[in-house]
Amino acid sequence: MQKDVVTVGVDLAKNVFQVHAIAADGKVLVRRQLRRAEVLKFFSSLPRCW
């Protein structure tokens, strides 16, 4: 990712999760739907948020 992620929002559901990652300037960097099987892989590849 070009900018650092500072906030991650997750909308939990049974099978499909909505994920948003926000930069310090408020710009949305990621807006995705993830299936349950994809969640761990997505967050393990995301840089640490400070």
Instruction: With a cut of 60, say whether residue 13 has pLDDT above it.
Output: yes
Q: What is the pLDDT of residue 3?
A: 72
**Contacts of residue 33, Cβ cutoff 8 Å, sequence gap at least 6:** 16, 17, 18, 19
14-46 pLDDT per residue, tens: 999 999 999 989 999 999 999 999 999 999 988
Q: What is the pLDDT of residue 38?
A: 94
Q: What is the pTM of this model?
A: 0.73
- Structure-block tokens of residue 33: 């739907």
Q: What is the pLDDT of residue 2?
A: 52
Q: What is the 3-state secondary structure (H, E, C) of the chain?
A: CCCCEEEEEEECCCCEEEEEEEECCCCEEEEEEEEHHHHHHHHHHCCCCC
Rg of the Cα atoms in the chain: 11
More reliable by pLDDT, 2 or 10: 10
Distance in angstroms (rounded) separating the CA atoms of residues 29 and 15: 23
